Structure 1
Amino acid sequence: MKKNFLKVLIALLAVNMFSSCRKQLDVNPRGRITEANYYSKPSDALEALISVYDVVGNQSGGYLTKVNILSAACDDHYAGGDSPSDIADLQTINNYTLTSTSGAASHLWNKGFTGVYRANVFLSKIEGITGLNATTKSRYVAEVKALRAFFYFDLVKLFKNCPLLLLPVEPDKLFDVEQVPADQIYAQVIKDLTEAMPNLPVTVPAASEGGRLTQGAAHAILGKVYMWQQKWTEAAAEFALVNGPSPGNSQYGYRLLTNYADLWNWKNKFNSESILEIVYNTTSNMGWGNVGSGEGNVMSILVGPRNYVPVIAAQAPDYISGWSFLPFTQEFFDLIHYDPRNKPTVANLDSLEKAGIVTYKHANANTGYFIEKYAGRVSTKASIGQLELNFGQDMYEIRLADTYMLEAEALLKSGAGVGAGSKAYVMFNAVRARVGLNPLPVTMENIMKERRLELAAEGHRWFDLVRWGLAPTVLASKGFIANKNEILPIPQQDLSNTKIKQSKEWGGTL
């Protein structure tokens, strides 16, 4: 493929037939893609494929993303912002006052079903495209099936009770869509991933196809599916395929980066630790009037310290003045303070201010500890568009340290040996060794702590707490209610005048 995948993605955003696509399952079909004169030539197939990928990194016009929503919901962060009402949808999930009309739930529901919709349209049209060779067609189909599985996996984790749509729904049938048991969703996710794997590439050239799905990514997603189903042996087998027999020996070329901080160098895209990466860039020219429509990463402006002013310029980091969202809690900072991952993870404005090096506004829920991993800097700002909105910092959906720890956990829970020299012990402690820490026994307590420190602010903590059954206890102080807040409410917009029902956890009947 001669064109850079990301450049094609940006170009697609200007194509009217895709820009009109509704980013939701919305039962009102107005504004859907016009397909009559499309899907006729190979370039149409590529652009349609990219439109499915586009949903993976979707950001709402209200600055919502999967990562910032789930970060606000977990115990490592407060919602923050300028005031307790700033980006209300983050505040309501932070204190568990969200409802079925909350934008946080709506964004995640809409994002997932936009991806499903685009995948289904693609799969229904691909056979009618002429001039596309069989190998390319098989790969495209595999990518889209794996993407559909990815979207449905998020939907079933977040909402449990979802419609299972495998074909584009005709307009006159939209009001008749019904949900299916979660087991059926999981079965379809496994089926899609299993069917996709043989036709996905083992590796892709980063320069031209970085961000596209590979066999390793599909196995990693499937491993996570089995973890949620508590199928420990099956999960361990999938992660073993991803991770290899020992650290650095993956059949897919994955290996931990030597320097943990290098993971957050915004130019270090598609590195050897990246399994599935959410891609952003500095060239999409996104502005205040079209937030969410471009490919700049809005997290970089969201998490920066508000009213940031260097006082001693030579000693001050070149942070941009941001909006103070998602500050780390004092509890989390105390946990990571003396860990080698502290500085690459936490922007310690508290320390800088006390030293007289900088000043910043002590905004809502301020602790002085901000997210360093995504922090926007003057040196990383875009050169075109609204500069604050067009940062090119990629984010990891899955990286190797995550799958190392998950394999260790799956082996532990399956009853496999986890003592010194075992596979679980070696993989778990490879994560610690990378940052210069001594080995520890493979116990759930150690795994839970290591995941919290290693993957901080990457969107995993809330899912982990729910998966481990710890959310009601750990998040009680934030308002989490057991047997309710483990899932999100189905948006009201999709309950009205349809057969879709609210989950019983949220007062419904399903």
Structure 2
Amino acid sequence: MKSKYYLYTGIVLLGMGTIVSCKKSFLELDPKGQFLESNYYANPDEALTAVVAAYDPLVTETGGIDNTYSDPLGALNSASDDCYAGGGSSSDVPQWQAINNYTLTPALGPQNQFWAINFQGVNRTDVLLSKLANVPGLSADLLKRYTAEGQFLRAHYYFDLVRLFKNVPLILTTLNITNVYDQPQATPEAVYTQIETDLKAAITGLPTTVPATEGGRVTQGAAKALLGKVYLYEKKWADAAAMLQDVNTNYGYKLLPNFGDVFSPKNKFNSESIFELVHSGSQSYTWSNWNQFKSNIYTQMIGPRSYTGPVYYGGGYGFNPVTTELATALKGDPRYGYTVVNIDSLTKATKTSYSPSYQNTGYFIQKYAPVLANKVTTGTTDLNWPNDYIEIRLADTYLMEAEAELNGGGDQGRAQTLYNAVRARVGLASKPATLQNIYDERRLELATEGHRWFDLVRWGQAPTVLASKGFKAGVNEILPIPLNETLNGTKLKQNPGY
């Protein structure tokens, strides 16, 4: 490892790799080779390229020491009661199988990818924030915006890290080969304090809106939404309610009349989208582009195997079959058909077929499904799905605010109004806005979107709800520190129970 290359990417705390540059639109990325830090940040164009590189780990789908495919939805859905791991067999993507049945060890599980990708993001934002002020010709307005973007992104990466691992190093400056192994774990409280600090600083430097050509870039509303969510996780109920109320009332976001339109690739950056991770279907990827994909490979992963059904639906690899429990909970709910597809019923009705995957239930994820109307015609079909992932959307912030209002003894009437709005959008009648009803609504509204496992953990319900999957209280609320991160003389201590 040569220290002069460490500044941009890493598969552990420190690493080597490529800067990526703009192509086609803001976050459609292609590798453009290696650059030395000493030769970079020479002009505003290079500063923008570095900003794009700081966003890049958000949509990185491979990572860790083995470069394994690692879309976070696959692991998070496998860990929850929404889905099973599935796939071709009990050994297919073993990282997802291990978190599905809670046989995680420091050497086996999705932690390598979560750790590597998020620390890659931390590393890139640390470098970005250390260099921007000295970029020749960079205007004061761009300096302010790029700095705010870097602060938001660093907070985002650390929020994932502290939720997933709890005990992580807090690195706010660039490292070199002599000190990378000397980083101790910070307290979770210190990490959360830094996340708050970064987000508060970011808010004032971000635009309230961005044009479609900059879709995916963070806005002031997104930073406030993330800060409100952070407060919620810290149980700072009044702060969470106030911040989320600001988002929900002052930025022009609106629930879409048709629930299914939220997830359509033809409706990106819609009025409900607060922070959206962009996936391009136009870059003609083939299998030779491994570790470069910015399309949505997860769409292909969750389709039914060897599917020969109606032409509007494509096949896939059979991962994350929906649990019968979730399908049953959704039946009779207007969101059912936009969330779950019953391939067993579909193939029987059309006299077609598919090959059942491991842990098959017959139910598959619809929100990100390989619908052929979304298929692109260039490159390898499996690798070029354009489905975005809306990480924060208005229905989510409505329900988070309602939860905060109730927990903090806040405005009960407002909590009821927000809860009613989410239900009314899909034609459901009002019910009392109790905490349990809000918990239930979050499950049905946000099913398979990657929130469920985090929700169960923070509510303290995971040991009971996930007991049948093997969840162990006091252990599985967080992931193990990756084995390789605790070797070679590092100061990192393994999480309890692993």
Q: Distance in 1 between matches of 2:357 and 2:58?
A: 31
CA contact (8 A) 2:281 2:385 kept: yes
2:372 matched to which residue of 1? Answer: 378
Matched, 1:397 2:388: no
1:43 matched to which residue of 2? Answer: 45
Q: Distance in 1 between matches of 2:179 and 2:203?
A: 32
The CA deviation at 1:5 is 7.7
Matched, 1:188 2:179: no
CA contact (8 A) 2:80 2:466 kept: yes
2:108 matched to which residue of 1? Answer: 102
The CA deviation at 1:498 is 3.3
Q: Distance in 2 between matches of 1:290 and 1:129?
A: 32
Matched, 1:286 2:285: yes
1:402-447 deviation line (CA, Å, top 9, x unaligned): 00000000000001242xxx11110111000000000111112111
2:327 matched to which residue of 1? Answer: 333
Give 3-state SS (helix, strand or coil) of 1:163's partner. Answer: coil
452 and 174 in structure 1: CA distance in 2 versus 1, 3 angstrom threshold: same
Matched, 1:410 2:416: no
CA contact (8 A) 1:10 1:295 kept: yes
The CA deviation at 1:111 is 1.0
CA contact (8 A) 1:4 1:209 kept: no
1:209-260 deviation line (CA, Å, top 9, x unaligned): 111111110111111111111111110011001001xxxxxx2110000100
Q: Distance in 2 between matches of 1:238 and 1:428?
A: 17
Matched, 1:223 2:228: yes
224 and 498 in structure 1: CA distance in 2 versus 1, 3 angstrom threshold: farther
CA contact (8 A) 1:142 1:199 kept: yes
**Which of 232, 236, 248 is equivalent to 2:241?**
236
Give 3-state SS (helix, strand or coil) of 1:359's partner. Answer: coil
The CA deviation at 1:330 is 0.7
2:124 matched to which residue of 1? Answer: 118
1:188 maps to amino acid? Q
Q: 129-138 or 353-362, which moves further after superposition? A: 353-362
**Which of 160, 183, 193 is equivalent to 1:177?**
183
**Which of 214, 217, 232 is equivalent to 2:219?**
214
1:321 maps to amino acid? G
Q: Distance in 2 between matches of 1:223 and 1:330?
A: 33
Matched, 1:342 2:336: yes
499 and 4 in structure 1: CA distance in 2 versus 1, 3 angstrom threshold: closer
CA contact (8 A) 2:80 2:453 kept: yes
Matched, 1:434 2:448: no
The CA deviation at 1:170 is 1.7
Q: Distance in 2 between matches of 1:104 and 1:290?
A: 22
The CA deviation at 1:4 is 8.3
Q: Distance in 2 between matches of 1:166 and 1:4?
A: 26
Matched, 1:318 2:312: yes
1:102 maps to amino acid? L
The CA deviation at 1:8 is 4.3
1:362 matched to which residue of 2? Answer: 356
CA contact (8 A) 1:176 1:499 kept: yes
1:366-394 deviation line (CA, Å, top 9, x unaligned): 11100111111222222222121110000
1:468 maps to amino acid? W
CA contact (8 A) 2:238 2:410 kept: no
The CA deviation at 1:6 is 6.0
1:446 matched to which residue of 2? Answer: 437
**5+ unaligned residues in a row in structure 1: which ranges?**
18-32, 245-250, 311-315
The CA deviation at 1:272 is 0.5
Q: 358-367 or 46-55, which moves further after superposition? A: 358-367
Give 3-state SS (helix, strand or coil) of 1:169's partner. Answer: coil
Give 3-state SS (helix, strand or coil) of 2:390's partner. Answer: strand
The CA deviation at 1:355 is 1.9
Matched, 1:133 2:134: no
2:3 matched to which residue of 1? Answer: none
Summarize the alignment of residues 13-28 of structure 1 with structure 2, pairs less than 5 Å apart.
Answer: 13-17=30-34
1:7 matched to which residue of 2? Answer: 25
1:309-336 deviation line (CA, Å, top 9, x unaligned): 12xxxxx352111011001111111100
**Which of 55, 61, 70 is equivalent to 2:76?**
70
CA contact (8 A) 2:88 2:357 kept: yes
Matched, 1:475 2:466: yes
Q: Distance in 2 between matches of 1:277 and 1:385?
A: 24
Q: Distance in 2 between matches of 1:391 and 1:68?
A: 16
- For these two proteins, the number of residue pairs brought into alignment is 474
Give 3-state SS (helix, strand or coil) of 1:388's partner. Answer: helix
Q: Distance in 2 between matches of 1:108 and 1:6?
A: 28
Give 3-state SS (helix, strand or coil) of 2:113's partner. Answer: helix
Give 3-state SS (helix, strand or coil) of 1:263's partner. Answer: helix
2:219 maps to amino acid? T
Q: Distance in 2 between matches of 1:57 and 1:434?
A: 30
5 and 147 in structure 1: CA distance in 2 versus 1, 3 angstrom threshold: farther
2:407 maps to amino acid? K
The CA deviation at 1:493 is 1.2
Share of identical aligned residues, percent? 47
2:162 matched to which residue of 1? Answer: 156
Q: Distance in 2 between matches of 1:185 and 1:493?
A: 22
The CA deviation at 1:503 is 3.6
Q: Distance in 1 between matches of 2:31 and 2:158?
A: 27
Q: Distance in 1 between matches of 2:284 and 2:486?
A: 36
CA contact (8 A) 1:260 1:435 kept: yes
423 and 4 in structure 1: CA distance in 2 versus 1, 3 angstrom threshold: farther
The CA deviation at 1:461 is 0.2
The CA deviation at 1:100 is 1.1
RMSD value over aligned CA atoms? 1.5
2:5 matched to which residue of 1? Answer: none
Give 3-state SS (helix, strand or coil) of 2:322's partner. Answer: coil
CA contact (8 A) 2:76 2:450 kept: yes
Q: With structure 2 as the length reference, what TM-score do the two structures score?
A: 0.93
**5+ unaligned residues in a row in structure 2: which ranges?**
1-20
